[in-house]
C-alpha cells in the first residue's frame, strides 16, 4: 500500500534534509519535485495544484527559513497538509438511532462491495452487534450466493427474496425488525459502468429504506476512475462515506489522496487484503505517516490486540522466564502472528523500519517452512526436541517438504534461544516481563 509513493517521497526527503539552508527559490524547486511525484502517483491534478500551493504558502515563511533544520520543517508541513487532505480526523461509522439502522453499500461491479459487506458484518459482530446482510443485487446471481456463503461463515442472517429491489428493501427491514437484527447492511447492484437506470433504482431504494449511512465502495487500484465514479454516485445518492478496497495491491495511492478532496466525504474504511479481518478504519494521520515512511505503530498495536490472545501471551511470558517453552508454544505464537497479516506489512508499520526494508525481499515463506517443520513433528517431539535423532529428522524433513539441513538449523536456533532465555532468567526475571513472542 502506497509503496511507490513512499519510496519516491523518501528519496526526495533525503535530498531535502541534506540542504543546510533553504531559500524561497529552492523550496519552490523542491515542491516541483513533490508535484511530479504526486501526479505520477495518479493523484487528481486539481488536488495536487491546491496541495502544492498551500504547502508553498506555509513553507515560505520566516519560521521555516530561519529554522535550524529547515528541511525537517518542510517535511512536517507536508505531513500536516497530507493529514488535512485525507480528511483530518477519523470519521467512524454512524449506526446510532432506532433499530434496525440501515447501511446501504453501493459501487461499480467488481469493486469489492459484497466482500466489504461481509467484512463490515464481522467487524460489527465483534462489537456486540447482530447485523443482517440483505441481498439487493438481483442482476448478478453470484452476488446473492456469495453473500449467503459469507453469512454462513460468520453466522450472520442473510435476507434474500425473488422479486424487484424495492420489495426486497421493504421486506428486509421488516425481517430485521422481527428478528432483532441491527444494523441491516444492503449489498446493492453494481454495473460495469454508471448508467441512468442503475442510478434511478438506487435513488428509489434509498428513498424507501432511508439509510443512516450510504457507503460508496471504490476499487483503489483504478485510481482516478474510482474518484470519478465516487463523484457521480455522490451527486445522485449524497453518499455519507467512502470505502477504498484492494489497497494491498495499490502502490500509488492516487485514489486515497484525491477522493476526499473531490467528494468532500470522508474515507471510513480501507480494505487491505482478501480475508474478512482485512478491514481497517481510516485514520488520516496514520495513513499520512505510512505514506511518509514513518510507520504506524498505533495500528500495529491494535492489530496485535485483536489477534493475540492475552492469556496465552502471559502464559508464554512465564514459560520464557522459566526457559520452559516448547515447539508447541512456538507454533501457537507463529499462528497468532500470521493472523496479523503479511510479515512485510507488519514490519512497515514499525517506525524507522519501513524505509529500511523497502528494497529488501521479506521472505513470507520462511514462517510457512518453519510451521511445516513443526507440524511434521509428533506432539512428543514438539514438547521434547531432545529425542529428535537422525531418523526422526529425516522423517520430519520429508513430511514438511524441507531439507534435513533446514530441520537441523531450526532445532539449533531453538536450542540457542532457550539458552539465551535461561541466561536472562539467571540475571533477573525482571528483564523478561511482558515479552509476548519468542523472537
pLDDT digits (tens, 9 = 90+) for 68-125: 566 777 778 888 888 898 888 899 999 999 999 999 999 988 888 999 999 999 999 9
- CATH 1.20.120.140 range(s) for the chain read 3-85
d(CA 69, CA 121): 48
pLDDT at 139 (0 to 100): 85
pLDDT at 433 (0 to 100): 44
pLDDT at 78 (0 to 100): 84
Give the other-Cβ count within 10 Å of 197's Cβ. 8
Q: Does residue 348 surpass a pLDDT of 50? A: yes
Residue 345, SS3 per DSSP: helix
Backbone φ, ψ for residue 326 (5° rounding): -125, 180
CB 184 within 8 Å of CB 201: no
**102-294 belongs to which homologous superfamily?**
P-loop containing nucleotide triphosphate hydrolases (3.40.50.300)
pLDDT at 383 (0 to 100): 84
Average of pLDDT values for 338-363? 56
CB 113 within 8 Å of CB 190: yes
Average of pLDDT values for 224-234? 86
pTM, full prediction: 0.68
pLDDT at 159 (0 to 100): 95
Name the band, by pLDDT with cuts 50, 70 and 90, for residue 257. confident
Q: Does residue 141 surpass a pLDDT of 80? A: no
Q: List the grid coordinates of 51.
A: 496541495
Name the band, by pLDDT with cuts 50, 70 and 90, for residue 435. very low
The predicted-structure confidence for 364-383, as pLDDT tens digits, reads as follows 677 778 888 888 999 888 88
d(CA 131, CA 155): 10
d(CA 258, CA 238): 18
CB 336 within 8 Å of CB 436: no
pLDDT at 176 (0 to 100): 95
Least confident piece of the model among 78-82, 235-239, 294-298, 422-426: 294-298
The CATH number for 302-432, chosen from 3.40.50.1820, 3.40.47.10, 3.30.750.24, 1.10.260.30, is 1.10.260.30
Domain 3-85 part of CATH 1.20.120.140: yes
Question: In terms of pLDDT, which residue wins out, 102 or 246?
Answer: 102
CB 294 within 8 Å of CB 9: no
Average of pLDDT values for 122-151? 91
SS3 for 175-196 is HHHHHCCECEEEEECCCCCCCH
Axis crossing angle, helix 254-263 with helix 45-59, rounded to the nearest 10 = 90
Name the band, by pLDDT with cuts 50, 70 and 90, for residue 415. confident
Q: Does residue 414 surpass a pLDDT of 90? A: no
pLDDT at 323 (0 to 100): 57
Least confident piece of the model among 142-151, 243-252, 348-357, 416-425: 348-357
Axis crossing angle, helix 196-209 with helix 165-179, rounded to the nearest 10 = 30
Strands 157-159 and 267-271: unpaired
pLDDT at 304 (0 to 100): 54
d(CA 418, CA 326): 9
Nearest-5° angle of CA 231, CA 232, CA 237? 95
Give the other-Cβ count within 10 Å of 217's Cβ. 28
Name the band, by pLDDT with cuts 50, 70 and 90, for residue 412. confident
Average pLDDT along the chain: 80
Q: Does residue 11 surpass a pLDDT of 50? A: yes
d(CA 395, CA 383): 17
pLDDT at 91 (0 to 100): 92
d(CA 339, CA 19): 43
d(CA 393, CA 383): 15
- CATH 1.10.260.30 range(s) for the chain read 302-432
Least confident piece of the model among 77-81, 147-151, 193-197, 301-305: 301-305
d(CA 362, CA 61): 42
Q: Does residue 400 surpass a pLDDT of 60? A: yes
Among 109, 168, 117, CA closest to 140: 109
pLDDT at 79 (0 to 100): 85
Burial 221-231 (b: 16+ CB within 10 A, else e): bbbbebbbbbb
Name the band, by pLDDT with cuts 50, 70 and 90, for residue 312. low
Alpha-carbon dihedral of residues 361, 367, 373, 375, nearest 10 degrees? -150
pLDDT at 202 (0 to 100): 92
**Percent of the chain with pLDDT strictly greater than 90:** 29
Average of pLDDT values for 140-168? 91
Question: In terms of pLDDT, which residue wins out, 209 or 35?
Answer: 209
Q: Does residue 299 surpass a pLDDT of 80? A: no
CB 111 within 8 Å of CB 218: yes
Question: In terms of pLDDT, which residue wins out, 104 or 44?
Answer: 104
Q: List the grid coordinates of 323.
A: 526457559
Amino acid at each position: 500500500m502506497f509503496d511507490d509513493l513512499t519510496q519516491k517521497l523518501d528519496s526526495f526527503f533525503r535530498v531535502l534534509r541534506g540542504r543546510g539552508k533553504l531559500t524561497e527559490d529552492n523550496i519552490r524547486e523542491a515542491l516541483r519535485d513533490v508535484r511530479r511525484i504526486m501526479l505520477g502517483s495518479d493523484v487528481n491534478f486539481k488536488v495536487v495544484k491546491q496541495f502544492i500551493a498551500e504547502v508553498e504558502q506555509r513553507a515560505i515563511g520566516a519560521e521555516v527559513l530561519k529554522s535550524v533544520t529547515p528541511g525537517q520543517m518542510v517535511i512536517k508541513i507536508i505531513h500536516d497538509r497530507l493529514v488535512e487532505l485525507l480528511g483530518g480526523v477519523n470519521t467512524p461509522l454512524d449506526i446510532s438511532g432506532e433499530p434496525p439502522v440501515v447501511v446501504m453499500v453501493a459501487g461499480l461491479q467488481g469493486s469489492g462491495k459484497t466482500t466489504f459487506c461481509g467484512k463490515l458484518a464481522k467487524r460489527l459482530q465483534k462489537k456486540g452487534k447482530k447485523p443482517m446482510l440483505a441481498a439487493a443485487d438481483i442482476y448478478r446471481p453470484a452476488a446473492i450466493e456469495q453473500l449467503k456463503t459469507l453469512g454462513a461463515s460468520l453466522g450472520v442472517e442473510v435476507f434474500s427474496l425473488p422479486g424487484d429491489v424495492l420489495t426486497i428493501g421493504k421486506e428486509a427491514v421488516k425481517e430485521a425488525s422481527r428478528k432483532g437484527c441491527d444494523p441491516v447492511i444492503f449489498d446493492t447492484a453494481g454495473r460495469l459502468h454508471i448508467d441512468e437506470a442503475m442510478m434511478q433504482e438506487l435513488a428509489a431504494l434509498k428513498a424507501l429504506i432511508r439509510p443512516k449511512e450510504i457507503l460508496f465502495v471504490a476499487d483503489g487500484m483504478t485510481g482516478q476512475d474510482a474518484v470519478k465514479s465516487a463523484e457521480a454516485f455522490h451527486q445522485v445518492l449524497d453518499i455519507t462515506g467512502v470505502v477504498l478496497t484492494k489497497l494491498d495491491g495499490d502502490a500509488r495511492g492516487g485514489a486515497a489522496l484525491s477522493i476526499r478532496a473531490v467528494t468532500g466525504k470522508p474515507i471510513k474504511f480501507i480494505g487491505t487484503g482478501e480475508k474478512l479481518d482485512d478491514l481497517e478504519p481510516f485514520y488520516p494521520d496514520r495513513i499520512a505517516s505510512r505514506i511518509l515512511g514513518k510507520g504506524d505503530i498505533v495500528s500495529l498495536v491494535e492489530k496485535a490486540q485483536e489477534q493475540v490472545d492475552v492469556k496465552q501471551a502471559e502464559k508464554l511470558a512465564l514459560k520464557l522466564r522459566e526457559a520452559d517453552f516448547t515447539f508447541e508454544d512456538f507454533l501457537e505464537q507463529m499462528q497468532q502472528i500470521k493472523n496479523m497479516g503479511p510479515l512485510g506489512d507488519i514490519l512497515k508499520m514499525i517506525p524507522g523500519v519501513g524505509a529500511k526494508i523497502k528494497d529488501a525481499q521479506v521472505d513470507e515463506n520462511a514462517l510457512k517452512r518453519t510451521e511445516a517443520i513443526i507440524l511434521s513433528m509428533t506432539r512428543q517431539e514438539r514438547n521434547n526436541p531432545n529425542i529428535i535423532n537422525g531418523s526422526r529428522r529425516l522423517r520430519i524433513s520429508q513430511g514438511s517438504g524441507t531439507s534435513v539441513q533446514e530441520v537441523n538449523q531450526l532445532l539449533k536456533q531453538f536450542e540457542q534461544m532457550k539458552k539465551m532465555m535461561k541466561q536472562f532468567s539467571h540475571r533477573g526475571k525482571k528483564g523478561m516481563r511482558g515479552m509476548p513472542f519468542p523472537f
